[in-house]
């Protein structure tokens, strides 16, 4: 989907590069003006198609998330990716529909759209930080702790009487909450644990299972630590995302109504 988004952007940029680079007052004399202008067949087509992509992306995701009628066919996380894809390609098409002319009420719609897209990227990151089931439903703290208990029981069975090793695994604290340092610090600590595990009377499969259980325990600790903060952050995120999406939608409706009032019609 990222590739498709890039290809669409590159194609539109190349197709209208000369026209979009021309000063506004000189565009009328360009051979491609009637075709690429906002009311031209290509320009209007971009506006219509871009708007439809956004509407489909928004309506499909919101209704499917609320009523769950697509759960049998697609996981919620993949539906979110599709929502992001449509609501990224759509605004790109609308951007080229405007021919990079921003003025009056259109500028409000444009910057609302920019904020919605940017906040959508941030929202996707926050969404992925909240523990979820395979189907995409949010896990409660009790469900996370249940997963943690399963991993701890495996550790108990494999470690046996080596309480020092178990203590070192359970007391592990990563000082880096985010970024690559988090990954490398945890990996280095796991290597140290691995050396000690190799001295236990376990076969390779059991050693792998023990180390995997240790990594899972640390993952559960991180999830529990960030669950409340991420849930709160996700609620705050909606404060920025939804209102601007609504503003954009209202202005789009006003824009379409105004163009029809001024005599512009569907030209396909």
pLDDT at 144 over 70: yes
Asked if 174 and 225 touch (Cβ cutoff 8 Å), the reply is no
- Give the range among 12-16, 49-53, 77-81 with minimum mean pLDDT: 77-81
Answer yes or no: do 14 and 122 share one domain: yes
Assigned domain for 267 exists: no
Answer yes or no: do 82 and 157 share one domain: no
The percent of residues above 90 in pLDDT, for the chain, comes to 3
Answer yes or no: do 53 and 81 share one domain: yes
What are the tokens at 189?
């600590």
Answer yes or no: do 133 and 112 share one domain: yes
Assigned domain for 266 exists: no
pLDDT for 134: 57
Q: Provide the mean pLDDT of the chain.
A: 80
String of DSSP letters for 133-200: -TTSPBPPHHHHHHHHHHHHHHHHHHHTT-HHHHHHHHT---S--SHHHHHHHHHHHHHHHHHHHTTS
Asked if 119 and 244 touch (Cβ cutoff 8 Å), the reply is yes
pLDDT digits 0-9 by tens, 246-261 = 888 888 888 778 777 8
In this prediction, residue 37 has a pLDDT band, given cuts at 50, 70 and 90, of confident
Assigned domain for 268 exists: no
pLDDT for 53: 92
Answer yes or no: do 132 and 241 share one domain: yes
Answer yes or no: do 131 and 38 share one domain: yes
pLDDT at 268 over 60: no
pLDDT digits 0-9 by tens, 81-117 = 898 899 889 989 988 988 888 776 777 777 887 888 8
Specify the number of domains making up the chain.
Answer: 2
Answer yes or no: do 202 and 257 share one domain: no
Answer yes or no: do 155 and 74 share one domain: no
Most confident of 11-15, 31-35, 195-199, 262-266: 11-15
Comparing CA positions, the residue from 45, 53, 42 lying closest to residue 15 is: 42
Answer yes or no: do 173 and 156 share one domain: yes
Q: Which residues pair with 132 in a beta bridge?
A: 138
Answer yes or no: do 216 and 235 share one domain: no
* Parent domain of 224: 141-228
In this prediction, residue 135 has a pLDDT band, given cuts at 50, 70 and 90, of low
CB within 8 Å of 255: residues ≥ 6 apart: 105, 106, 109
């Amino acid at each position: 989907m990222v590739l498709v988004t890039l290809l669409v952007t590159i194609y539109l940029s190349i197709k209208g590069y000369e026209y979009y680079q021309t000063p506004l007052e000189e565009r009328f004399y360009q051979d491609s003006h009637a075709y690429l202008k906002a009311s031209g067949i290509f320009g209007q087509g971009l506006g219509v198609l871009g708007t439809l992509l956004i509407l489909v992306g928004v309506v499909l995701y919101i209704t499917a998330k609320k009523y769950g009628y697509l759960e049998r066919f697609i996981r919620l996380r993949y539906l979110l990716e599709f929502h992001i894809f449509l609501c990224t390609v759509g605004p790109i098409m609308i951007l080229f529909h405007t021919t990079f002319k921003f003025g009056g009420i259109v500028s409000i719609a444009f910057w609302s759209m920019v904020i919605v897209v940017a906040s959508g990227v941030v929202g996707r990151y926050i969404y992925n930080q909240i523990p979820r089931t395979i189907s995409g439903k949010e896990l409660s703290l009790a469900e996370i702790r249940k997963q943690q208990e399963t991993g701890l029981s495996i550790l108990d069975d494999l470690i046996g009487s080596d309480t020092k090793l178990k203590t070192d695994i359970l007391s592990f604290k990563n000082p880096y909450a985010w970024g690559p340092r988090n990954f490398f610090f945890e990996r280095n600590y796991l290597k140290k644990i691995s050396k000690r595990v190799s001295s236990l009377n376990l076969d390779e499969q059991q050693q792998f299972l023990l180390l995997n259980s240790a990594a899972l325990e640390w993952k559960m600790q991180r999830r529990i630590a960030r669950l409340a903060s991420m849930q709160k952050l996700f609620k705050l995120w909606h404060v920025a995302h939804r209102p601007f999406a609504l503003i954009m939608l209202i202005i789009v409706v006003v824009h379409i109504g105004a163009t029809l009032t001024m005599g512009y019609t569907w030209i396909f």
